[in-house]
Amino acid sequence: MTVVHAAPERGITTVTLDSPGNRNALSAALVDGLTNALTECGKDSDVRAVVLTHTGNTFSAGADLRDPPHPDALVGLLRQIVELPKPVVARVTGHVRAGGLGLLGACDIAAASLDATFAFTEVRIGVAPAVISLPLLPRTDPRALARYYLTGERFNTAEAVRSGLLTAAGDDVDAVLAPVLDGLRKASPQGLAETKRLLTARVLETFDRDAADLTALSARLFSSAGAREGMTAFLERRDPAWVV
């Protein structure tokens, strides 16, 4: 089954996460499919920019606990979005959780409808938002991240915009993005590539410095007894043992 689809239109290729059965969770198959789609976009000289969107009411629920990608694969995907010589624009009309927020952090521009919600839920299953911190920490407000990383609380689009996770939000996300996509279509490929290189330099420095350590941390936490209890409790729809 194909879980990622790509559709070009007037220089913009829309890449759609299409695995609504597991709320577009980051399974090995979805990560592979998205990686391949972005690779093709990078090679196609007719593609001016990429819009990353989704089917269903969830942009991405984070790591697929039944079929998780290897941390190295997720690091590679996030870096690919950051390094792609074409802008990547996230279009969100649903909810975003955990690792899905890493995709937003890696995108150059991100917009959402007003009914979207967001949460870093890793602490509630005994792990940490390790790998996704690579694009998020350099781009978002550290006080906001401290609160939401540590508590797992849900927050709305207004808070996501304030914290730097989103660029903009509105009742009609396509209306919000219309001038953005119009501007990208008017820009030269060379201008976009070099401007994106300027904007992502600090993010890539973080990848170079911290990717190995955060990948190791993620692997260690996901294989721990605490994470096994947290993930089992989540799948069984019960509170984990540490809830007081």
* Residue 65, pLDDT score: 86
75-85 pLDDT, tens per residue?
Answer: 999 999 999 99
Model confidence at 69, in pLDDT bands (50, 70, 90)? confident
Q: Domain map of the chain by residue range?
A: 1-172+189-244
198-232 pLDDT, tens per residue?
Answer: 999 999 999 999 999 999 999 999 999 999 999 99
What does the mean pLDDT of the chain come to? 97
Q: Which of 2-6, 49-53, 164-168 shows the lowest mean pLDDT across its residues?
A: 2-6
Looking at domain 1-172+189-244, which of 2.60.120.260, 2.60.40.2130, 3.90.226.10, 2.30.250.10 is its CATH number? 3.90.226.10
Letter string b/e over residues 92-107, b meaning 16 or more CB atoms within 10 A of that residue's CB: bbbbbbbbbbbbbbbb
Model confidence at 178, in pLDDT bands (50, 70, 90)? very high
Model confidence at 54, in pLDDT bands (50, 70, 90)? very high
C-alpha distance from residue 150 to each of 35, 115, 194, 200, 206 (Å): 30, 23, 36, 26, 21
Model confidence at 71, in pLDDT bands (50, 70, 90)? confident
Q: Does residue 70 carry a pLDDT above 90? A: no
16-51 pLDDT, tens per residue?
Answer: 999 999 999 999 999 999 999 999 999 999 999 999
Taking the alpha carbons of 76, 8, 42, 33 in that order, is the dihedral positive or negative?
positive
Show the beta-strand stretches assigned E in 116-234.
Answer: 117-119, 155-156, 168-170
Q: Which two tokens stand for residue 54?
A: 């989704």
Q: Does residue 1 carry a pLDDT above 80? A: no
* Residue 22, pLDDT score: 95
* Residue 2, pLDDT score: 87
